């Protein structure tokens, strides 16, 4: 065989092998669907409540307890793989500045269907700080509302539950969604705050069954807490309709917004299912939601503070025509009282484009 033919065959073989390897990699990263564990854990109103099943995070004496909320980090294997470093640098800067005791993530940590690499990397990255973190799902975390992502919702739960510092729990399997769980912030054994982490992402709204489950937990905690509902905070992704009410109250001049504020049109849900009233009855004083990106505000509305959490990481989506400039995170500081503020980042430093 002529030398030139051998060279040609070698080149073709190498190209074929490279093509096969790339094809296999693309298949397992972008096309193959990973199904997580199906865990059956049904909840019934008649179940016995056990307070020791709720995870606790202890407040350090003499210091405020600081929660850093990261909202809508929104990473995608295809589009953001090469931006991950930048987003991680931004989160690192936010953590270094605020020194949180707990990191919450209000959904849309990933977006689009390609979520395998970014989610596993995010959990590894968050674990590297040695700080407990608590995520909920948004409407993009396992697909764009159609559950067609590389990782299905059980697979996402598996990854979050494996995180060394993750407090995530998939919760009951029959609440219309996954990732509903509670935390108690305690000091010397006393409950300072109960935190309700709810999934209002994929289904877009909190359902009646979730409300019933939240109330059942609250009554159990109340009984274990000397007959008092501890002051409570809820975190979930898509805002309830009262956020729209707060938004219009602010626009009319009937309500003040606190801190760094950007108020644009509201992307809140529309389902009036009594969640807001139920939350008030169990002493929820703060509701913190994501989903609205640059729409960042804290407004006291009908005796509850509603916080539309500031977006973390590159801005995406629906504000192209507006002058959105804030980016960073929300800080919830728990001392004698609860204080909410935003921490913003220099957009040029982190190459944040609208």
Q: Does 313 bind Fe ion (CB under 5 A)?
A: no
Q: Does 298 bind Fe ion (CB under 5 A)?
A: no
Binding letters toward Fe ion, positions 76-115, x by CB under 5 A:
--------------------------------x-------
The interface region with Fe ion, picked from 18-26, 76-84, 136-144, 177-185 by CB under 5 A, is: 136-144
Q: Does 138 bind Fe ion (CB under 5 A)?
A: yes
Cβ–Cβ < 8 Å for 258, 322? no
Binding test (CB under 5 A) with Fe ion, winner from 74, 104, 139, 338? 139
Question: Which of 149, 334 has the CB closer to Fe ion?
Answer: 149
Question: Which of 80, 108 has the CB closer to Fe ion?
Answer: 108
Q: Does 143 bind Fe ion (CB under 5 A)?
A: no
Question: Which of 59, 291 has the CB closer to Fe ion?
Answer: 291
CA 329 to centroid of chain Cα atoms: 12
Smallest separation (angstroms) from Fe ion to the CB of 74: 8
The interface region with Fe ion, picked from 8-16, 17-25, 133-141, 180-188 by CB under 5 A, is: 133-141
Binding test (CB under 5 A) with Fe ion, winner from 153, 193, 291, 311? 291
Burial 278-298 (b: 16+ CB within 10 A, else e): bbeebbbbbbbbbbbbbbbbb
Cβ–Cβ < 8 Å for 310, 342? yes
Question: Which of 188, 270 has the CB closer to Fe ion?
Answer: 270
Smallest separation (angstroms) from Fe ion to the CB of 215: 26
Q: Which residues bind Fe ion (CB under 5 A)?
A: 108, 138-139, 291
């Amino acid at each position: 065989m002529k030398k030139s033919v051998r060279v040609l065959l070698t080149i073709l073989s190498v190209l074929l092998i490279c093509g096969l390897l790339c094809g296999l990699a693309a298949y397992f990263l972008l096309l193959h669907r990973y199904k997580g564990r199906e865990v059956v854990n049904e909840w019934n109103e008649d179940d016995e409540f056990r307070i020791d099943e709720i995870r606790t995070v202890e407040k350090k004496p003499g210091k405020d307890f600081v929660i850093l909320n990261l909202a809508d980090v929104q990473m995608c294997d295809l589009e953001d793989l090469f931006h991950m470093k930048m987003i991680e640098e931004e989160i690192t800067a936010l953590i270094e500045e605020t020194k949180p005791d707990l990191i919450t993530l209000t959904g849309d940590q990933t977006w689009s269907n390609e979520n395998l690499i970014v989610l596993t990397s995010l959990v590894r990255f968050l674990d590297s700080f040695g700080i407990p973190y608590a995520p909920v799902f948004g409407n993009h975390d396992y697909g764009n509302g159609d559950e067609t992502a590389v990782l299905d919702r059980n697979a996402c739960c598996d990854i979050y539950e494996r995180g060394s510092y993750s407090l995530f729990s998939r919760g009951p399997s029959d609440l219309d969604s996954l990732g509903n769980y509670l935390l108690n912030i305690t000091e010397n054994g006393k409950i300072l705050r109960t935190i309700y982490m709810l999934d209002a992402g994929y289904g877009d709204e909190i359902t009646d069954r979730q409300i019933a489950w939240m109330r059942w937990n609250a009554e159990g905690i109340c009984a274990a807490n000397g007959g008092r509902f501890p002051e409570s905070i809820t975190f979930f992704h898509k805002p309830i309709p009262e956020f729209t009410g707060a938004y219009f109250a602010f626009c009319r001049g009937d309500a003040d917004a606190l801190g760094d504020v950007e108020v644009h049109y509201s992307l809140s849900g529309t389902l009036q299912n009594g969640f807001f009233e139920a939350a008030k009855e169990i002493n929820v004083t703060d509701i913190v939601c994501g989903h609205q990106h640059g729409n960042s505000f804290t407004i006291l509305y009908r005796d509850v503070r509603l916080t539309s959490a500031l977006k973390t990481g590159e801005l995406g989506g629906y504000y192209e025509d507006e002058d959105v400039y804030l980016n960073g995170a929300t800080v919830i500081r728990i001392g004698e009282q609860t204080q909410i503020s935003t921490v913003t980042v220099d957009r040029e430093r982190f190459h944040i484009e609208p």
